[in-house]
Amino acid sequence: MSAMSKKRLATVWLDGCSGCHMSFLDMDERLLTVAGMADLVYSPLVDAKEFPEGVDVALVEGAVSSEEDLHKIKLVRSRTKTLVSLGDCAVTANVPGMRNPFGVKAVCDRAYRENVTFDPGIPNQVVPALLPNSRPIHEFVNVDVFVPGCPPSADTIYYVVTELLEGRQPDVSARTRFGS
Amino acid sequence: MSPVGAVKTLKIDGRDLSGRQEETILDVARQNGIFLPRLCEMDGLSDVGACRLCLVEIKGQNKLLPACVTVVEEGMEVTTDSERLLNYRRMILELLLTERNHVCSVCVSNGHCELQMLAQRLGITHVHFPYRFPKEEVDASHERFVIDHNRCILCTRCVRVCDEIEGAHTWDIMGRGIDAKVITDLNEPWGSSETCTSCGKCVHVCPTGALFEKGRSVAEMLKRRQFLPYLTMMREENE
């Protein structure tokens, strides 16, 4: 396979624990197979600083929780052919969404005032502002493939990635579920 | 009226089947290995037709009917698995998943939950409705058990088992519609209930992680359901 015909793969980390990325790495030697099929053009695992144009498949971990997440997911959507909502945080908001019933103010007070001894105060620069709720990706942009699981297993991720890179639509319902 | 035990013949999904006249469509389907999803129905408890997951089509009727409370009739032609029914069932499950906070990954019943298993069986990989993220209470005032309203789907199995089998009627439903919730006594903390016998039957019939034993962590709450048909059978024999 020539370099020109290789697909362009990306992975994105929004509000999640990185467990889906750990599961991605758990593909172990099968990562070499994936590397033979696609270039990893953007990921927390590589150096690229900006999400590039013309991505074929993007795996997105995590819920949309901050203004930065919202900005990123819109950019990812606009530059990606097949967007995969990877893991329960991306698909359901999962654990990041557990803050939602309490409201941003109560959550920030808890994190930055009540449990802090040195210079308590809510940051207003560098750290992106939280959205009112942490929500699943598909409530903001169109998602092409949903892969629930916390995290989805390496086997599931390998199946999804290779199917998509070979131009097929994966059916994950028998392989993974919410909370698996 | 025909005598008790008279046999009715009917078709389910094109198969010629028969059932006793007092049996429901769900009874006959189950006896013949035909799968119908349900979350409120439970062998050994009265039927309420609350979850609507076992809705079936009956030829000649526009209305969909819940198989758990519809008794068989001579010549009935029942469909259990049309695309239309499957769509409604998925919709019901998605509404249940968005109505409260079902966070499977951190739930005591992860891997043993009837709601979670049904969602997977019906091919649900995401929901089409916006999540509500309501603020729900957790009452851990009981010495041995906890009620987590985040996971409750209002199936009323706890209410029925407490009333019909234990005879305590500690549980009931308060409020209407989206505000409905299960309560102990007159909406008092479970721990100070004067009627609760602490038998734990409610915990073990609960299809989700709404009712669980204290000390159980994520995925550790296994429910034992076998006692219920056994208790019912023994009581009937003694009557």
Contact B110 A139 (CB under 8 A): no
A1 pLDDT above the threshold of 60: no
Confidence of residue A3 (pLDDT cuts 50, 70, 90): low
Confidence of residue A69 (pLDDT cuts 50, 70, 90): very high
Handedness of CA B106, B109, B115, B116 (dihedral sign): positive
Shortest Cα distance, chain B CAs vs residue A174, angstroms:
7
Region B81-110: what's the mean pLDDT? Answer: 98
Query: What is d(CA B160, CA B45) in angstroms, rounded to the nearest whole number?
Result: 7
Nearest to B106 among A95, A133, A147 (CB): A95
User: Angle B83-99/B114-121 helices, nearest 10 degrees?
Assistant: 140
Place of tokens 């008279």: B6
Other Cβ atoms within 10 Å of A93 Cβ, number: 27
Is A86 an 8 Å CB contact of chain B? no
Q: What is the mean pLDDT of chain B?
A: 95
Domain ranges of chain A: 3-97+131-165
B112 pLDDT above the threshold of 60: yes
Nearest of B21, B109, B10 to residue B59 by alpha carbon: B10
* End-to-end CA separation in angstroms for chain B: 25
Nearest to B119 among A97, A102, A178 (CB): A178
Q: A10: exposed, middle or buried (C-beta count within 10 Å: 0-12, 13-18, 19+)?
A: buried
Kindly give the residue spans of alpha helices, DSSP state H, lying in B32-136: 83-99, 114-121
pLDDT for the residue A2? 52
Q: Which amino acid is at B48?
A: V
- Tens of pLDDT, residue by residue over B213-234, are 999 999 999 999 888 888 888 8
Contact B135 A102 (CB under 8 A): yes
Nearest to B116 among A101, A172, A177 (CB): A177
Confidence of residue B236 (pLDDT cuts 50, 70, 90): confident
Strands of the sheet with A7-13, listed across from one edge: A38-42, A7-13, A55-61, A80-86, A145-147
Query: What is d(CA A42, CA A64) in angstroms, rounded to the nearest whole number?
Result: 19
A45 pLDDT above the threshold of 60: yes
Of A69-78, A96-105, B159-168, B220-229, the one with minimum mean pLDDT is B220-229
Nearest of B9, B62, B12, B5 to residue B32 by alpha carbon: B12
Q: Which residues are within 8 A (CB) of B64 and not within 5 positions of it... i.e. 6 or more apart?
A: B55, B56, B57, B85, B88
Contact B130 A139 (CB under 8 A): yes
Is A83 an 8 Å CB contact of chain B? no
Which CATH number describes the domain made up of A3-97+131-165? Answer: 3.40.50.700
Is A147 an 8 Å CB contact of chain B? yes
* End-to-end CA separation in angstroms for chain A: 36
Residues of chain B above pLDDT 70, percent = 97
Alpha carbons within 13 angstroms on the beta-carbon side of residue B60 total 5
- Closest CA in chain A for residue B98: A92
Q: Which domains does chain B have, with CATH numbers?
A: 7-81 (3.10.20.740), 104-231 (3.30.70.20)
B239 pLDDT above the threshold of 90: no
Tokens representing B144 are 């041995």
- Tens of pLDDT, residue by residue over B72-89, are 999 999 999 999 999 999
Residues of chain B above pLDDT 90, percent = 92
Query: What is d(CA B77, CA B59) in angstroms, rounded to the nearest whole number?
Result: 5
Q: Which residues are within 8 A (CB) of B94 and not within 5 positions of it... i.e. 6 or more apart?
A: B124, B127, B128, B129
pTM of the model: 0.95
Is A179 an 8 Å CB contact of chain B? yes
CB pairs under 8 A between A and B: 72
Confidence of residue A124 (pLDDT cuts 50, 70, 90): confident
Instruction: Give the CA dihedral B131, B135, B140, B146, nearest 10 degrees.
Output: -20
Q: What is the mean pLDDT of chain A?
A: 96
pLDDT for the residue B117? 97
pLDDT for the residue A4? 60
pLDDT for the residue B64? 97
Nearest of A105, A99, A134, A138 to residue A122 by alpha carbon: A105
DSSP state of B118: H
**Bond from prior residue into A151 cis (ω within 30 degrees of 0):** yes
Is A61 an 8 Å CB contact of chain B? no
Q: What is the DSSP string of chain A?
A: --GGG-EEEEEEE-BS-SHHHHHHHTTTTHHHHHHHHEEEEE-TTS---SPPS-EEEEEEESBEEEHHHHHHHHHHHHTEEEEEEESHHHHH-TTGGGGGGG-HHHHHHIIIIIT--SS-----SSSPPEEEEEE-GGGTS--SEEE--SSPPHHHHHHHHHHHHTT-----TTT--TT-
Instruction: Give the CA dihedral B152, A175, A171, A73, nearest 10 degrees.
Output: 70
